[in-house]
Each structure stands twice: as C-alpha cells, then as structure tokens.
A = this chain, B = another copy of it.
Amino acid sequence: MTRGPRRSVQPDAVLDAALELIDEGALTMRALAARVGLTPGALYTYFPDRAAIVTAIADRLLAEADLSLLDDPAEPPHRRIENYALALREVLLAHPAAVPAILGAAFNGPMALRVGESLLRVLPDARATYTVMVYVLGAIALEAADRVTGSTPSFELDPAEFPLTSGQIDVILAYNSAEQFQWGLGRVLSGLS
C-alpha cells in the first residue's frame, strides 16, 4: 500500500540523529542535516520546524517506558506505579538534555494521554494521579538538570551559615539516586491513600 522509498532517509532516522545531537549538547538544523546527509532546507520536508522535531522526540522517549507495567496484575497498585516510575526515570535520565523538552511538551503529545489514562486505571482519582506525575516528572527534571550542568558545583558551604544543610550534607549529595526517588515516591503514595 505504501509507496516505494521516495525520501533518501526515513523520518525516524532523522529523529535518531536529532536525539544524538541533543545528547551531544546541541541540536541544530544544520548539524542534523549534515548527519543524515541532507541540506538544511530539506529537513523542512520532514518536519515543519525545529520545535516539531523536539516534541516528536519527547513523545518517542515517553513511549520507551513500558506502560504495561501499570497493568501488571501480579503487582499491587502502588508497586505498579513504582515500577513504571522507575522505568520512566531510567529512560529519561539516559537523555538528560532532552528532559526539559519533555517537561515542556508534557501533556501535548499522544503518548502523554496514554500514560495518563493508564495511571488513572490504577489510581482513579485524577487529583492523585496528577500529584504523582508532578512528583515523578519533578524529580526527573531536577536530576536531569543536575547532570547536564555537571553535577554539584564544588559546593562552597559555610557550616556557620548553613548548619542544618552541612549536618546532612551526605544525604543531600545522595539526592540524585534511585533510592531517594523511590523513597519520596513511597511517601507521596502513602499520603494519597
């Protein structure tokens, strides 16, 4: 039914290259065109503009986390959410520089709707579902920001001015861990019960 290959590259290949460039630190139309062997102008046959490429990547990343984890009948509801949240964290933190775009397009893409619907199946109160999404996306966004900036920046910390912060500095430096992520999610879920 589909016509033969008229384009020299597949749209998915363009998105692959675009994600690579984001991971490398800078996505530009010119670099993207060069990577797929095209002229910059030719990209506008594939996507209307740069923003469309970014939101397409956001939706594709969202699709990489296994949504069926939320429907696993072998697990209790809270654990299903935990499993999916951890999977999503893994997928998104593999591409920290792409995370801001995901936050930006969080509820626009088709995949976001599917995630929301699946979450509602296990946590039927929409307010509770939204609270979970806020926690999960917020934690991932903060971790991602930390990774792109280059982790914690030398930390000039005066113990006299910041006694409590200094006293728990070991915990604070461990903020960005799956353990802290999971601990907080557990507290959030318990507060929603």
Contact residues of A with B, CB < 8 Å?
Answer: 100, 103-108, 113-114, 116-117, 120-121, 124, 126-128, 130-131, 133-139, 141-142, 145-146, 148-149, 152-153, 157, 161-165, 168, 171-172, 175, 180, 183-184, 187-192
Chain B residues in 8 Å Cβ range of A157: 113
Question: A88 CB to closest chain B CB, in angstroms?
Answer: 13
A121 CA / B165 CA spacing, docked (Å): 10
Could you write out 8 A-B pairs with CB less than 8 Å apart? A113-B165, A120-B165, A126-B168, A127-B180, A131-B183, A134-B139, A135-B138, A141-B141
A120 and B152 within 8 A (CB): no
Which 7 residue pairs of A and B lie closest in terms of their CB atoms, listed nearest first? A138-B138, A191-B191, A131-B184, A120-B164, A126-B168, A126-B171, A187-B191
